[in-house]
Amino acid sequence: MNTIAMKPVSVTNDVVSTNRSPKVISRGVKVFYGEKEALHGVDLDIHEREVTALIGPSGCGKSTFLRCMNRMNDVVEGCRIEGKIEIDGDDIYDRRIDVVQLRARVGMVFQKPNPFPKSIYENVAYGPKIHGIASGKEELDEIVEGSLTRAGLWNEVKDRLDKPGTGLSGGQQQRLCIARAIAVSPEVILMDEPCSALDPIATARIEELIDELRENFTIVIVTHSMQQAARVSQRTAFFHLGDLVEVGDTSQIFTNPKEERTQAYITGRFG
């Protein structure tokens, strides 16, 4: 299976690498939960300042792979990872890499909006504070305003920065979480089904935002909606049963997939 899955990877990588350089390189990534192998060796390159969508049916390992990139799987008991993931040439599972610094470089937005039960301001200022990014109050204010502006939330909340973040609507909460993530100026932002708890209008707003953020960040998004993958991403990777089946330019994956399983999934024949 692995050999089948690897072929299209190398092919498409050759095509696209002329376009942009890989920001994240993963080779032979296997994940075990206890005895169970959840990922069977994934080779995937994530390109800089592009949106890469990870699609596939539930339980295919796309979220697991996403959480490998900021080592959030470390928190899960009994989880073991093999293989290699490099960000800008640094092996993130190397002993010398501090997970705290890694997560400052790789931000994450979760499926359900999870603002802290603090004020809107404190939510955004949280990351800069723990990493000591701002040297003073003014700089912190600037970071908060900048992040909220880039998350498209500033105009809605500028008059109530001291109100609790949990009081916002679902879509606003998710944009607050995005602002919180970009406040520490990460290089990569991971999004784990960021719109699955939101209504269509809030979803459209977040999708727009993802498109804008592509200017400055490398984004990896896990999504169950193939329309969403088609709308926001430049590259798409299809996972199935713990294998990376196919990866390529989004237009190619959705119009002319090379693998039969990809074809079957995107046309809705299984999943």
- The piece of 33-41, 109-117, 149-157, 210-218 that touches other proteins (CB under 8 A) is 109-117
Which residues have a Cβ under 8 Å from the Cβ of 72 and sit 6 or more positions away? 108
What's the DSSP call for residue 54? E
Q: Which among 135, 168, 161 has a CA at the least distance from the CA of 147?
A: 161
Q: Does residue 40 interact with other proteins by CB under 8 A?
A: no
Calpha distance 18→21 (Å, rounded): 8
- Pick 165 or 257: Cβ nearer other proteins: 165
- The piece of 8-16, 54-62, 177-185, 240-248 that touches other proteins (CB under 8 A) is 177-185
State which amino acid sits at residue 142: E
How many helices (H) and strands (E) are present in the chain, helices listed first? 11, 10
Q: Are 142 and 226 in contact (CB under 8 A)?
A: no
- Pick 9 or 161: Cβ nearer other proteins: 161
- The piece of 13-21, 101-109, 147-155, 260-268 that touches other proteins (CB under 8 A) is 101-109
Shortest CB 166 distance to other proteins, Å: 7
Q: Does residue 33 interact with other proteins by CB under 8 A?
A: no
- Pick out residues in 62-91 that bind other proteins (CB under 8 A): 70, 72, 75, 77
- Pick 84 or 129: Cβ nearer other proteins: 129
Which of residues 14, 35, 96, 100 is near other proteins by CB under 8 A? 100
Q: Which among 59, 53, 35, 2 has a CA at the least distance from the CA of 270?
A: 59
State which amino acid sits at residue 251: S
Shortest CB 258 distance to other proteins, Å: 34
Q: How many CB atoms lie within 10 A of CB 4?
A: 12
- The piece of 19-27, 85-93, 103-111, 250-258 that touches other proteins (CB under 8 A) is 103-111
Termini Cα distance of the chain: 19
- Helix-helix angle 170-182:137-150, to 10 degrees: 130
- Pick out residues in 110-169 that bind other proteins (CB under 8 A): 110, 112, 114-118, 126-127, 130-131, 166
**Total binding residues for other proteins by CB under 8 A?**
28
**Beta-bridge partners for 220:** 52, 190
Write out the two tokens for 197: 């708890």
- Pick 28 or 33: Cβ nearer other proteins: 33
Q: Are 128 and 134 in contact (CB under 8 A)?
A: yes
Q: Are 245 and 81 in contact (CB under 8 A)?
A: no
Shortest CB 93 distance to other proteins, Å: 16
Q: Does residue 263 interact with other proteins by CB under 8 A?
A: no
Which of residues 184, 191, 198, 244 is near other proteins by CB under 8 A? 184
Instruction: Give residues in contact with other proteins (CB under 8 A).
Output: 70, 72, 75, 77, 99-104, 107-108, 110, 112, 114-118, 126-127, 130-131, 166, 177, 180-181, 184
